[in-house]
Amino acid sequence: MLAAIIDAPGAAPRIGDIELPPRPSGHTLLAVLAAPLNPLDLLIASGSFHSARHESAYVPGSECVGVVVESDSFEIGARVYAESHASPTSPGPLATHVLVADADIVPLPGGIDPVEAAAIGNSGVAAFLPLVDVAKLTAGDVVLVLGATGSVGQLAVQIARLRGASRVIGVGRSREVLAELGADTVVQLVEGEITDSLAERIREAAGAVDVILDTLYSQPLEAALRSCAMHARVVNVGHSAGPTATIAAGLLRGKQIAVSGFAGLHIPLRDKRSALEWLWSELAADRLRIPVTTLPLDDLPTAWSAQARSPHAKHVVVHSPEESESA
């Protein structure tokens, strides 16, 4: 079958042929319909991810929607959502077919677009669970989203609004993208701006903030923390602005701020299922949207480079059922 292949840490993907092993008990063979390209996939491939590094060649990918081809647990022909933990011994879903443990599969609701369902999975969970389960977002909270123009951030803005936030402030590079998604106020990041200046602009735009969802870390978080209300809840889900931040102890204690980290990779799919079902329900009702750029597998190396530049749309590799069956 055709698959994307990462030959070594830091290498760009190439398209080649691989052979899947026989399906073991407790696993399902899927013909892939849609496989998103996530920042996580690039981070793992770079060799710098904190939880996974692969020295040997492997097929990347972390999630997909597919059609069941062989299974002891799921109906043949059913459409399902699947998580994948790609490694040299377990090829990921950036391919025409993938083997997935049954515990990492959830049936897809009827009437939902498979491309959108796949695109909203990883990113949607990374926005929903930190806001709802970790930060305990309640109606009336003022929510600040750092990195709101990325896929996680765009969804976080919409989720916060749907879950009853009184105001949602988006901080990111593109004012137009944030305004279109329903942010009440937008703070545009400016390259080279000093922390004091950014902190003042956030304070003027946001006032006192109850919840911060942070996909950036580093200087933007340092600036945003100065706008925290008493007992604010801060959840970090990424560090695209840098791996370190300096946080004044007096600020943490003085406002009794709770700071948490979230990594969906370490959470089993069964604990994400209710979040996924909520996301898919809102998507089907046209209350959530996620910009998607679709592409064939052959174009993945180009999309890989584009993803590294943090586009405002999710890249999703798509296959028609006919292509998957003949691969």
Mean pLDDT of the chain: 93
Tell me if 284 is assigned to some domain. no
Whether residue 319 is found in the same domain as residue 235: no
CA-based nearest residue to 219, from 257, 249, 189: 189
Q: How many Å apart are CA 268 and CA 279, to the nearest integer? A: 17
Whether residue 312 is found in the same domain as residue 237: no
Tell me if 114 is assigned to some domain. no
pLDDT digits (tens, 9 = 90+) for 248-290: 999 999 999 999 999 988 899 999 999 999 999 999 999 999 9
Q: How many Å apart are CA 264 and CA 65, to the nearest integer? A: 18
Whether residue 244 is found in the same domain as residue 195: yes
Domains held by the chain: number: 2
Whether residue 208 is found in the same domain as residue 150: yes
Q: Of 54-68, 123-137, 173-187, 293-307, where does mean pLDDT reach its minimum?
A: 173-187
Predicted pLDDT at 327:
43
Whether residue 62 is found in the same domain as residue 143: no
Q: Of 8-22, 56-70, 217-231, 312-326, where does mean pLDDT reach its minimum?
A: 312-326
Q: State yes or no: pLDDT of 103 exceeds 80.
A: yes
Alpha helices in 192-320 (DSSP H): 195-206, 218-224, 249-255, 273-284, 300-308
Q: State yes or no: pLDDT of 207 exceeds 70.
A: yes
pLDDT digits (tens, 9 = 90+) for 128-187: 999 999 999 999 999 999 999 999 999 999 999 999 999 999 999 876 766 677 789 999
Structural domain boundaries enclosing 229? 124-265
Q: In which band, very low, low, confident or very high, does the pLDDT at 50 lie, cut at 50, 70 and 90?
A: confident
295 exposure class (CB count in 10 Å sphere: 0-12, 13-18, 19+): middle
- CATH number of the domain where residue 255 is located: 3.90.180.10
Q: State yes or no: pLDDT of 323 exceeds 60.
A: no
The whole-number average pLDDT for the span 291-318 is: 88
Q: How many Å apart are CA 273 and CA 100, to the nearest integer? A: 16
DSSP codes joined into one string, 37-59: E-HHHHHHHHT--SS----S-B-
Tell me if 118 is assigned to some domain. no
- Against a cut of 0.85, is the pTM above it? yes
Tell me if 233 is assigned to some domain. yes
- Provide the terminal-to-terminal Cα distance of the chain, rounded to the nearest Å: 5
Tell me if 283 is assigned to some domain. no
